[in-house]
């Protein structure tokens, strides 16, 4: 085993031990928070090492937090909260779109009625009320 492989294996072992300590409630280096950042501090590794080189151990940690403590990992809580916020934003946007569509339909219908009324000679073209007909463009 070359030195890089030995260092990698030692780092993985430190992470596994840190997972056990955190879940046992006996942190040695960190505050004991059940987060990936807390795990990185406890294992004395850079946080990005857990995201890049040891993502399997990060997932193992999150799964054990979920099953053993019946808690949701902080990252999952944030994602769920963001998801709920985005779903509400989407719902609001769809409601606003429906309202804008309705207003557009009403405007088109009103324009059609006004255009239709000004085309009929028996209606007087709207001259007897407060509606002024549009003049047709000369061609």
Query: Using CA atoms, how far apart are residues 118 and 135, in angstroms rounded to an integer?
Result: 9
**What's the pLDDT at 121?**
58
Angle at which helices 55-68 and 3-24 cross, to 10°: 10
- Rg of the chain on CA atoms, in Å: 33
In which residue are the tokens 């509400």 written? Answer: 88
**What's the pLDDT at 126?**
47
Q: Which residues of the chain are under the pLDDT cut of 50?
A: 125-126
Supply the pTM of this predicted model: 0.54
> Contact 38/22 with Cβ under 8 angstroms?
yes
Measuring CA to CA, how many Å separate 72 from each of 65, 80, 137? 7, 10, 68
Provide CB contacts within 8 A for 139, sequence distance 6+: none
Distance of alpha carbon 24 from the chain centroid:
33
């Amino acid at each position: 085993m070359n030195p890089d492989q030995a260092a990698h294996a030692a780092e993985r072992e430190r992470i596994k031990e840190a997972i056990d300590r955190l879940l046992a409630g006996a942190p040695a280096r960190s505050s004991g928070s059940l987060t990936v950042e807390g795990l990185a501090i406890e294992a004395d590794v850079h946080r990005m090492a857990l995201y890049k080189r040891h993502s399997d151990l990060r997932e193992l940690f999150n799964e054990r937090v979920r099953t053993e403590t019946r808690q949701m990992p902080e990252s999952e809580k944030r994602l769920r909260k963001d998801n709920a916020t985005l779903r509400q934003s989407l719902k609001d946007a769809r409601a606003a779109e429906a309202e804008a569509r309705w207003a557009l339909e009403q405007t088109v219908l009103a324009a059609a009625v006004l255009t239709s009324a000004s085309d009929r000679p028996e209606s007087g073209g709207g001259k007897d009320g407060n509606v002024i007909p549009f003049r047709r463009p000369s061609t």
